[in-house]
Structure 1
Amino acid sequence: MRKSAFCFIGFFILTLSPTSYAGWEVQWIDTFDGDGVDWSSWTAQTQANYNNEVQCYTDDDYSDRRNYDVSNGTLKIIARREINSCVTLNGATKGWTSGRINTKDKREFLYGRLESRIRFHNLEAGSWPAFWMLENRIQEQPIKGDDDFVHWPNRGASEIDVWEWFSNEPDTYITNFFNTLPGSCGAEYRYHYPNGGQDVLDWHRYAVEWTEDLISFYIDDTLVVSRDMSRCSRYEEPMFALLNVAMGGNLGGAIDPNLSQVVMEVDYIAHCQISDSNSAAFCDESLPYDDAELPPTPTTPPTNDDQSPSTPEAGSNSYGLIVGLFMLFCLRRRSRFLNA
């Protein structure tokens, strides 16, 4: 009887055990596979003029001097040294052109994981690339009049920096929060590259995982820092993504006089929500996706190397084998007991 009770309790515990850890499902992704910026997802923020920076942001993804080059499956945001009269800043004279794009009003996110795979091409002084987020009611381009009249960094216009790198402090990058609340709403943290500034030249996945009570930052599979947001009343409404390269100014600093061009290269950017269909750690094009948000995948049948929502997880197969062996053990024990 004790053996029967053991089998019953063990089987009950096993059947309650989860078959796999929660992973991610893509809600939106841009893999930059075309020949220009997908303006249905992005807006060129040409009216941005902050921090005493010296660039004029453009929407140019077509000319010989373009600031956005989509080719070979990546986006290159290119800052170029050229004296110009910036039309979108009332003719202000600027020494550089560059790119700043955001997904405001087009692709906005509430919680989940926002991830981008990025490398930077230059270590010379003066550049300031960033991958970051803003709350969607900020009074910044594009302005639709849908309650987006809030000034930074008040409620509705707070900021989260996922990856912000300064070439004049090349060994680290910044994760940071900007809001008008003190104390319990995050803080700056600097991640030190293991090999110093040289690491920025290599591809890395930069990501933020965001819930109502916790915000965590990652580089590749390394947790950089987590922040308890349970006492923070911010970051509980949709945000949008930004990618840009600033030059000079308060944080970019003095620009190398021999520098004429810098490049930030982006392989993809994606937003995911938690899913129990897999145990993926990253948010990229290999994952299942929400049909309501993304176009259908090609009709080519998946190969053994493809990841498909209908393919059983290895963890699920192992779990099923364990349950089956346990049941066989119990049945054999029960048979011996009855034949005794």
Structure 2
Amino acid sequence: MSCKTKNEEQKEKTSSTEAKIWEVDFLDEFDTFNPDNWQDQRIWVNNETHCYVPNGKFGTREASDGTLKLKVVQIDDKRSCDNFDKHGEQHPDTEYVAGRITSKNKKEFIKGKWTAKLKLSSSGEPSMFPAWWLLGARNNEPPMQEVDENICWPLTGSGEIDIFEHHGDHHKNRFTTGAIKSLDECDKGDWWSLRKDFEVILDEYHEYSVEWEDSDLLYRVDGEEIYRNVGQGDKYPEPMFAILNFAKITDSPMESKEWVMEVDWVKHEYRK
């Protein structure tokens, strides 16, 4: 019979896992915007009050000086928006435009470790909602480019893991991380039980990551574990793609004309 405590067993398990070597199989340092890695995603979700625009229009998506800048920009007047929600409803006219990119059908991976190094130009402003997150590759939201993209969120095949979200309406210099728990029905997800807020200086660069460690999802900031979803890793067995976006989610006016999320790099690794 083992006399080891649970803590001792966990330490042995973690030590054994960490002894394995991470190998990089995807790295984008954003010297340019590489269409082999990313595509713009124009979709209306979460009652967002902006319009996602393509090709960096209005400066909403720019790769320069070795970083990617994704922005929410307030333009001079309300314009029509060609974003539709999953039910086919078109976004109303809006004076806000934004950038959102996805690696869907470009770079998709099963498990492993995803990391992005990023910072915000400011934090804590009402309506701010920048994010770095993953979705299952069979997600049935636009763009739908493959015949098997027919699974609704957040069922297996279309599961969601949020590595970094900043809710400006609630806190300055705080972010949320964790998985969305599927309730086994289309469009039915538990946003609260597997997610948690943490303090960090958001206008400084940090590395935000999630990795599969045995059956757990382990979240890190700058390489240090801050949180884990125990037993949830096996519930995300599907290939997943990455999304980076800066959203505006309520009608609160912008205190400045422009919000920026700057991304130094994104990478995926696997255990060798």
Q: After TM superposition, is the score higher than 0.5?
A: yes
Counterpart of 1:39 in structure 2 is: 35
Q: Which amino acid aligns with 2:40?
A: A
TM superposition score normalised by structure 2: 0.81
Tell me how far apart the structure 1 counterparts of residues 195 and 227 of structure 2 sit (CA, whole Å).
10
Counterpart of 1:203 in structure 2 is: 205
Q: How far off its partner does 1:233 sit?
A: 5.2
Tell me how far apart the structure 2 counterparts of residues 205 and 73 of structure 1 sit (CA, whole Å).
16
Q: How far off its partner does 1:145 sit?
A: 3.5
What is the RMSD of the two structures over their aligned residues, measured on CA atoms?
A: 2.3
Q: How far off its partner does 1:59 sit?
A: 1.3
Candidates 40, 47, 52, aligned match of 2:47: 52
Counterpart of 2:133 in structure 1 is: 132
Q: How far off its partner does 1:91 sit?
A: 6.7
Task: Provide the aligned length of Structure 1 versus Structure 2.
Answer: 241
Higher Rg: 1
CA contact (8 A) 1:111 1:212 kept: no
Counterpart of 2:222 in structure 1 is: 220
Q: How far off its partner does 1:173 sit?
A: 0.9
Tell me how far apart the structure 2 counterparts of residues 55 and 118 of structure 1 sit (CA, whole Å).
22
Q: How far off its partner does 1:108 sit?
A: 0.5
Higher percent of residues as helix: 1
Tell me how far apart the structure 1 counterparts of residues 82 and 45 of structure 2 sit (CA, whole Å).
16
Secondary structure, aligned partner of 1:201: coil
CA offset digits 1:177-235 (Å, max 9, x no partner): 2222599xx71111123xxxxx10000000001145111000102211112226x7520
Query: What residue ranges of structure 1 are gaps of 5+ in the alignment?
Result: 1-17, 194-198, 276-340
Query: What residue ranges of structure 2 are gaps of 5+ in the alignment?
Result: 1-15, 85-89
CA contact (8 A) 2:179 2:229 kept: no
Higher percent of residues as strand: 2
Secondary structure, aligned partner of 2:269: strand
- Indicate how the Cα distance of structure 1 residues 274 and 101 shifts in structure 2: closer, same or farther if over 3 A, else same: same
The 5-angstrom pairing of residues 231-310 of structure 1 reads 234-249=235-250, 254-256=252-254, 258-275=255-272
CA offset digits 1:126-166 (Å, max 9, x no partner): 21100000011111222123311111112211100000011
CA offset digits 1:85-121 (Å, max 9, x no partner): 1134457302211011111111001111100000000
TM superposition score normalised by structure 1: 0.66
Query: Do residues 86 (structure 1) and 81 (structure 2) align?
Result: yes
Once superposed, which parts of structure 1, at least 4 consecutive aligned residues long, lie more than 6 Å away?
none
Counterpart of 1:115 in structure 2 is: 115
Secondary structure, aligned partner of 2:235: coil
CA contact (8 A) 1:99 1:244 kept: yes
Q: How far off its partner does 1:240 sit?
A: 0.6
CA contact (8 A) 2:178 2:229 kept: no
